[in-house]
Amino acid sequence: MTTPKLPAAYHLIALDSVGSTNEEAKRLAVLGENAAPDGTLVWAKQQTAGRGRRGREWSSPPGNLYTSIVLRPDVPLARMPELSFVAALAVYDALESLGEPGHQVHLKWPNDVLLNDKKVAGLLLETESAGAGEDCHWVVLGMGLNVGWHPDDTPYPATSLRFEEWPVSVNQALEAYANSFLGWAGRWLDEGFEPIRENWLRRCKGQGEEIEVRLGNETLTGTFIDLDTSGALVLDCGGEVRHITAGDVFFSTPSGSIN
């Protein structure tokens, strides 16, 4: 494995195979700052038990990017979910920096990245749940990017860089993401969530359009108006405005279409 060149702010842990980079990063994070200082980046060539949002599996054969960063920002725990928007911007800008004109990249609430209207990357932010409270000053930010392979049985259609004929190596993708994340995380620490919110909205898909949001036990249809100051999706359901904190978005345009 060629070692990628990451900025000095990261402590790279490169693995050939692991169950889940998020699990490994969490295992190290609970051991404390010596085992996992801020910026510890766990990267694996493959995962045997990769996990997605809402308890889903994240198929993780070799050829894609699987990474989890341990972060210890001096920020209240309640604000940590903002970091997944920071990371979504980082993936977007990383792809832009790998510059292949003609591709459409968009962000999809809450923290997916779309390539040509199909999902190419997802983010999973986790901390220790049991009794962590305000004493827990770390989070693990997992990111999976389909570089060479994508599943074909997901509720929201998926794709990969290779399928879209965008030749990028896993190392190049990791280096671009790590660089871009450093920039956006610095901006978040210095300026707060507002510039993140504004930039996320500029890059997102579907604002002002009718969308469907599938919640655990309910499906809502309405106009995607805004992202609120906590990162919730603001949906106008025929005059009743809802602030949604968890769900899956589907669009009425091709690929992720409402059906």
Binding site for ligand BTN (CB under 6 A): 20-22, 47, 50-53, 56, 58, 66-68, 112, 122-124, 142-144
- What sign has the CA pseudo-torsion 120, 47, 174, 32? positive
Give the residue nearest to ligand BTN (CB). 122
Nearest to 173 by CA among 50, 15, 1, 6: 6
Question: 37 or 52: whose CB is closer to ligand BTN?
Answer: 52
Smallest distance, ligand BTN to C-beta of residue 147, A: 12
Cβ at position 79, least distance to ligand BTN in Å: 20
Nearer to ligand BTN, 28 or 143 (CB): 143
Collapse the DSSP code of 185 into the 3-class scheme (helix H, G, I; strand E, B; otherwise coil) and give the result. Answer: helix
Distance separating alpha carbons of residues 96 and 62, to the nearest angstrom: 24
Q: Closer CB to ligand BTN, residue 128 or residue 236?
A: 128
Give which of 171, 114, 178, 97 is closest to 141, Cα–Cα: 178
17 close to 61: Cβ distance less than 8 angstroms: no
Residue closer to ligand BTN, measured from CB, 20 or 160: 20
Alpha-carbon span 89 to 94, nearest angstrom: 8
Least separation in angstroms between residue 134's CB and ligand BTN is 25
Report in angstroms how near the CB of residue 58 gets to ligand BTN at its nearest: 4
